[in-house]
Amino acid sequence: MYKSKLALLVMTGLMASCVGAETPVEANIKKAIEPHLGEGVKIDAVRATPYAGLYEIQAGGDILYTDKEGKYIISGQIFNAKTAQNLTKLRLDEVNKIRFSDLPFNLALKTVKGNGKRVIAIFEDPNCGYCKRFRQTTLKETDNVTVYTFILNILSPDSLVKSTAIWCSPDRNKAWDEWMVDGKLPPAPPANCKTPHEEVAALGNRLHITGTPALFFADGTRVPGAIDKTTLEAKFATIK
């Protein structure tokens, strides 16, 4: 009995070690394609697809396709001809899904409206016009929600100046809303004020966020760009 259990444990360990292992074909594709994706761009994963003999390349939060030998790079979306289902979007949603509870909420602003039961995290730049419009319309009209705002300075050096002044205000949540909604900036910050901007920038890189706003929901899914109240409510309705 002991030997049987030991053999089972060894076999289980071997099987687990093989899960997700890169095949020779996938390794060759990675070696052939990665040098052509641009400076600093790394391939996160390569996997065979169940359609057309294509291989999926995951890089920088995006998906590309190639052939078995890595001779061609195909950029675009693949649809199921019978159902019109966007297969590329389904895979992107899956690949870019996060564990919401792992977000470092201590680096974010926190606003609670109503009972706050519904939760969302937003990455915003203080100079982002779409972010401002999203707050002035969609968020203003939405109740019973907790909003974690990660200030991601990606648009200009001036973004860092403004976000520092806002973060170092006595009431940073109020200061953020006053700027994004009313266009009112707080006074200049004290010289010794510390901000989480570098940590948030690193987080944005890990999550492959290249534009703002970027929305993340409690189920780990993300929505790039501003959405209206109807779309936001419909998304909340899908989260148990």
Does residue 224 belong to any structural domain of this protein?
yes
Q: Would you state the pLDDT for residue 20?
A: 58
Place of tokens 């200049």: 188
Do 138 and 60 fall within a single domain?
no
Tens of pLDDT, residues 65-75: 999 999 999 99
Q: Are 177 and 237 in contact (CB under 8 A)?
A: no
Do 35 and 88 fall within a single domain?
yes
Can you tell me the mean pLDDT for 148-175?
96
Q: How far apart are CA 95 and CA 43, in angstroms?
A: 13
Q: How far apart are CA 225 and CA 145, in angstroms?
A: 19
Which of 62, 95, 128 terminates a domain? The answer is: 95
Do 88 and 174 fall within a single domain?
no
What does pTM read for this prediction?
A: 0.80
Do 158 and 86 fall within a single domain?
no
Does residue 105 belong to any structural domain of this protein?
yes
Looking at the DSSP bridge assignments, the partners of residue 119 are 146
Query: At residue 148, does pLDDT exceed 60?
Result: yes
Higher pLDDT, 13 or 210: 210
Query: At residue 10, does pLDDT exceed 90?
Result: no
Which of 95, 120, 136 terminates a domain? The answer is: 95
For the chain, the domain total comes to 2
CATH number at residue 104: 3.40.30.10
3-state secondary structure 119-164: EEEEEECCCCHHHHHHHHHHHHHCCCEEEEEEECCCCCHHHHHHHH
Tens of pLDDT, residues 41-55: 889 999 999 988 999
Tens of pLDDT, residues 71-98: 999 999 999 999 999 999 999 888 889 9
Which of 75, 95, 115 terminates a domain? The answer is: 95
Do 105 and 86 fall within a single domain?
no
Do 185 and 154 fall within a single domain?
yes
Q: Are 149 and 196 in contact (CB under 8 A)?
A: no
Do 174 and 231 fall within a single domain?
yes
Domain span including residue 88: 19-95
Strand 55-59 versus strand 62-66 pairing type: antiparallel
Do 105 and 89 fall within a single domain?
no
Do 189 and 144 fall within a single domain?
yes
Which H or E run contains 232? helix 229-237
Q: Would you state the pLDDT for residue 1?
A: 39
Does residue 212 belong to any structural domain of this protein?
yes
Does residue 39 belong to any structural domain of this protein?
yes
Q: Are 67 and 76 in contact (CB under 8 A)?
A: no
Do 113 and 230 fall within a single domain?
yes
Q: How far apart are CA 62 and CA 179, in angstroms?
A: 32
